[in-house]
Amino acid sequence: MKKGRVYTLPGNNKIMRTLNNKNLTHLLYVLPNLILYSLLSIVPIIMGLFYSFTDWNGIGKNFHIVGVDNYVKILTDKRFHKAVLFNIRYASMLILCVLFISVALGLLLNTKTRFQNIFKSIYFFPACVSMLTLGLIFNYIFFQGVPMLGELLDIDLLKTNILSSRKLAIYGILITNVWKSVAIPTVLIISALQTIPKDIIEAAIVDGASQIQIFFYITLRYLFPMLSIILVLVLKEGLMIYDYIMAMTTGGPAGATESITLSIFRVGFEDMRFGYAIAQAMIVAIIIAMISILQIRYSDKKKIYE
């Protein structure tokens, strides 16, 4: 059986050349950003991974390869373990507060009111303030404003400066962080609420479902993908907290609010043990990456049932 001849459509080669030229043009547009991203992100990560196996002090050119000694020391470093426990506790409280408040504000602001856009702008304003500036403002409030108010009102609870207490300092930082971190999740929740089909809610109301049942069986199911994204973002923020602590307590009192990032900073820049500090940073980065991957995979498998 003879094979038939292959015919080429007129102008087919010209079309392919045009497509190739377009792909080359797109590549040339992306190439500068790709090179810049590689130089600022990928290359430092590779260099950091290398230095985590050394005893480099961050300044000198001489260093020794110590293998996995830095990673082994982390297993017995009580200071690092204390910082990890602080971050776990802090991140847990931050996630609960941000998720609860953002959902509550989202439901409230999603209703049609006369000054709806004004209220949205007011609640989003904290996101425009830098973390360091916000930390300094709340530092002044907790150190002078609240105790002064307590003296005027003669309320013993307000007379105490919570940032000077080992047990209460974490809550002062948490209040500051929540006030800023709620803004963006609230906007995301509002956008997710507006994607819920109205006919489903109307059908549930006709069937006699209460507002609580509608929230748990309909609204929450549609919010779950967005809540998963917010969870990962807030978890990362809770594990990487640094600015608020430096502005408000600098890790005190007596190391009660020393986070992982602050501990890494002090080990690297104060103790001049850059190799060991980078090893700690690598461990934290791996933990955050694993949590993010697991959360994203779980959210992909979660389906919304109508």
Which of 259, 232, 201 shows the shortest CA–CA distance to 81? 259
Using a 10 angstrom Cβ sphere, with 0-12 exposed, 13-18 middle and 19 or more buried, the burial of residue 75 is exposed
Q: How would you label 177-208 residue by residue, b for 16+ Cβ within 10 Å and e otherwise?
A: bbbbbbbbbbbbbbebbeebeeeeeeebeeee
Q: Give the mean pLDDT of 89-100.
A: 96
Q: Please write the tens of the pLDDT for every residue from 224-234.
A: 888 988 988 89
Domains of the chain: 71-301 (1.10.3720.10)
Share above pLDDT 90 across residues of the chain, in percent, rounded to a whole number: 38
Report pLDDT for 304: 45
More confident residue, 119 or 255: 255
Confidence of residue 154 (pLDDT cuts 50, 70, 90): confident
The pLDDT value recorded for residue 102 is 93
Confidence label for 282 from pLDDT (cuts 50, 70 and 90): very high
Give the sign of the dihedral formed by CA 59, CA 61, CA 62, CA 63.
Answer: positive
User: pLDDT (tens digit, 9 = 90+) per residue, 33-43?
Assistant: 888 888 888 88
Model pLDDT, residue 81? 94
| Overall average pLDDT of the 261-270 stretch | 92
The long-range contacts involving 205-213, CB below 8 angstroms and separated by at least 24 positions, are: none
Given this model, what pLDDT does residue 238 score? Answer: 92
Residue 7 confidence (pLDDT) above 50: no
What pLDDT digit, counting tens, does each position of 161-198 carry? 899 889 999 999 999 999 999 999 998 999 899 888 88
pLDDT of 303 above 80:
no
pTM of the model: 0.82
- What does the pLDDT average to over 140-169? 87
CB neighbours of 188 closer than 8 A, spacing ≥ 6?
102, 226, 229, 230
Question: Would you say residue 252 has pLDDT above 60?
Answer: yes
The pLDDT of 4-23, averaged and rounded, is 56
Cis omega before residue 253 (within 30°)?
Answer: yes
- The predicted structure's pLDDT at residue 241: 92
In this structure, what token pair is assigned to residue 185? 């999740």
User: Which residue in this structure is represented by tokens 């996101």?
Assistant: 127
Q: What average pLDDT does the segment 43-72 reach?
A: 90
Q: What is the predicted pLDDT for the residue at 266?
A: 93
Q: In this predicted structure, what is the pLDDT of residue 5?
A: 55
**What pLDDT does residue 161 have?**
86
pLDDT for the residue 306: 42
Res 208 pLDDT > 90 = no
Residue 109 pLDDT > 80? yes
Q: What does the mean pLDDT of the chain come to?
A: 85
